[in-house]
Amino acid sequence: MSNITFTMIKPDAVADGHIGAILGKISEGGFKIKALKLTQLTVADAKKFYEVHSERPFYGELVEFMSSGPIVAAVLEKDNAVEDFRTLIGSTNPAEAAEGTIRKMFARSIGENAVHGSDSDENALIEAQFHFSGREIF
Within 10 A of 114 (CB to CB), how many other CB atoms are there?
27
Distance between CA 135 and CA 138 in Å, rounded?
A: 7
Q: Tell whether residue 58 is a contact of ligand DAT (CB under 6 A).
A: yes
C-alpha distances out from residue 16 to 48, 66, 88, 108, Å: 26, 15, 20, 9
Part in contact with ligand DAT (CB under 6 A); list of ranges 14-22, 28-36, 38-46, 106-114 = 106-114
If residue 115 lies in a helix (H) or strand (E), which one and from where to where?
A: strand 115-117
Least distance in angstroms from the C-beta of 119 to Mg ion? 5
Least distance in angstroms from the C-beta of 31 to ligand DAT? 17
Residue 128 DSSP class? H
Least distance in angstroms from the C-beta of 138 to ligand DAT? 26
- The sign of the CA dihedral 29, 10, 90, 78 is negative
Part in contact with ligand DAT (CB under 6 A); list of ranges 30-38, 69-77, 109-117, 123-131 = 109-117
| Numbered residues of the known binding site for ATP | 10, 58, 86, 92, 103, 113
Residues that bind ligand DAT (CB under 6 A): 53, 58, 62, 92, 110-111, 113, 116, 119
Residues that bind Mg ion (CB under 5 A): 119
